[in-house]
């Protein structure tokens, strides 16, 4: 059994090691945040759809609208079709809403796969039903394999949420033999495929063969960037049931050593993706997404990174039912 020496970290110590890690990541990626501004047309289109789903649904999903909008305008800035962006924003809002405890703990989520098989989901008007409705509209905007992968990633992430509830207690994975399971669970709950395939819409990139070999690495890029840039807020909150903590316990590495290894692996991933994609529009779309995805974290108040580095938060407000 692997063990990690117990240390007491003060907020200043956490901030110092997190700051060094974030700066190391951004410098090695030669990252400079692009400039983004609010997209009022996108916001209006998304809010109109949510209003059409009723006041109760609007109230449930309202907290998830700003991050969904921010994710869309940063990560998918290169996409010019507003209809595609609306679908991505609605998807992001709904899939985040699934993680709401009032939804995640419901029978609709627990029985989701069975209800989907027997045809009940088409009659559901809750979050899961609206998510299925949104997914069904992806095929006109994405190549067939991409749209199918976006769909199956949702069935997988719901399973991942259930798996986290089953195996997410601190200390349940404390041996190096559990490292493959820790990676399996992180990948399942990461929703990487959906957000990876969203990069290349059908109109501009109809041939999936041009980027499909990069998808596995992009999925881990998504997970790792989130884990690295969430490290600060999660350490401050004392969270111990996450990928970084579990990997640290199982490997016997300290939290700082684990963080550094994940940063190193992220740099290798980016190099492989660039080699696979080569030069041209497909690569350009990836580079735009990668910068935007990092910016989504650095410029999002949720991650508190303004306390560590120089950045400006993007604020989306005024999202009201009336």
List, for residues 68-126, the tens digit of each pLDDT value: 999 999 999 999 999 999 999 999 999 998 877 566 667 778 899 999 999 888 888 99
Is the residue at 211 inside a domain? yes
Judge whether residue 2 has pLDDT over 50. no
Is the residue at 130 inside a domain? yes
Helix ranges (H only) for the chain are: 11-28, 40-52, 55-61, 65-75, 82-98, 101-104, 107-110, 112-117, 127-136, 144-167, 179-189, 192-197, 215-236, 243-251, 255-277, 281-298
Is the residue at 31 inside a domain? no
What's the pLDDT score for residue 164? Answer: 83
Return the residue matching tokens 């111990």. 240
What's the pLDDT score for residue 297? Answer: 97
Is the residue at 318 inside a domain? no
Is the residue at 99 inside a domain? yes
Long-range (24+ apart) CB contacts under 8 A made by 5-9 are: 5/254, 7/254, 9/235
Judge whether residue 5 has pLDDT over 50. no
The b-or-e profile of 63-76 (16+ CB within 10 A means b, else e) is ebbbbbbbbbbbbb
List, for residues 160-197, the tens digit of each pLDDT value: 888 888 876 655 666 888 899 999 999 999 999 999 99
What's the pLDDT score for residue 241? Answer: 84
Q: Look up the domain containing 230 and give its range.
A: 11-26+38-307
Instruction: For residues 246-275, give the mean pLDDT.
Output: 96
C-alpha to C-alpha distance for 167 and 274, rounded to whole angstroms: 35
For the chain, the domain total comes to 1
207 to 6, 189, 204, 276, 284: CA distances (angstroms): 51, 27, 9, 15, 15
- CB neighbourhood size of 30 (10 A): 6
C-alpha to C-alpha distance for 230 and 219, rounded to whole angstroms: 17
Instruction: For residues 257-286, give the mean pLDDT.
Output: 98
Summary mean pLDDT of the chain: 92
C-alpha to C-alpha distance for 294 and 226, rounded to whole angstroms: 8
What's the pLDDT score for residue 91? Answer: 98
Closest CA to 284 of 222, 225, 205: 205
Return the residue matching tokens 């009022």. 40
Is the residue at 279 inside a domain? yes
Is the residue at 33 inside a domain? no
CATH code of the domain in which 165 resides: 1.10.600.10
What's the pLDDT score for residue 202? Answer: 98
Return the residue matching tokens 């884990």. 227
Is the residue at 312 inside a domain? no
List, for residues 189-238, the tens digit of each pLDDT value: 999 999 999 999 999 999 999 999 999 999 999 999 999 999 999 999 99
């Amino acid at each position: 059994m692997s063990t990690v020496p117990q240390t007491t970290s003060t907020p200043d110590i956490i901030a110092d090691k997190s700051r060094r890690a974030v700066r190391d990541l951004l410098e090695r990626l030669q990252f400079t945040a692009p400039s983004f501004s609010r997209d009022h047309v996108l916001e209006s289109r998304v809010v109109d759809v949510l209003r059409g789903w009723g006041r109760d649904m609007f109230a449930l999903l309202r907290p998830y609208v700003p991050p969904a909008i921010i994710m869309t305008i940063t990560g998918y800035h290169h996409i010019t079709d507003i209809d595609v962006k609306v679908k991505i924003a609605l998807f992001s809002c709904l899939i985040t809403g699934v993680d709401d405890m009032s939804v995640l703990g419901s029978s609709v989520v627990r029985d989701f796969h069975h209800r989907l098989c027997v045809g009940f989901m088409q009659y559901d008007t809750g979050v899961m039903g609206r998510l299925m409705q949104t997914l069904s509209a992806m095929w006109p905007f994405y190549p067939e394999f991409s749209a199918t992968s976006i769909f199956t990633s949702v069935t997988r992430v719901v399973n991942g949420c259930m798996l986290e509830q089953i195996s997410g207690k601190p200390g349940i994975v404390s041996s190096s033999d559990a490292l493959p399971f820790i990676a399996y669970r992180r990948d399942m709950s990461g929703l990487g495929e959906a957000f990876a395939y969203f990069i290349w819409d059908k109109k501009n990139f109809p041939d999936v063969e041009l980027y499909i070999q990069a998808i596995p690495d992009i999925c881990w890029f998504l997970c790792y960037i989130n884990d690295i840039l969430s490290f600060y807020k999660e350490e401050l909150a004392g969270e111990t049931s996450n990928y970084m903590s579990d990997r640290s316990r199982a490997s016997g590495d300290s939290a700082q050593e684990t963080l550094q290894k994940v940063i190193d692996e992220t740099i290798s991933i980016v190099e492989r993706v660039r080699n696979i994609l080569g030069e041209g529009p497909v690569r350009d779309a990836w580079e735009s997404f990668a910068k935007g995805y990092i910016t989504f974290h650095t410029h999002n108040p949720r991650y508190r990174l303004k306390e560590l580095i120089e950045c400006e938060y993007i604020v989306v407000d005024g999202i009201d039912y009336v």
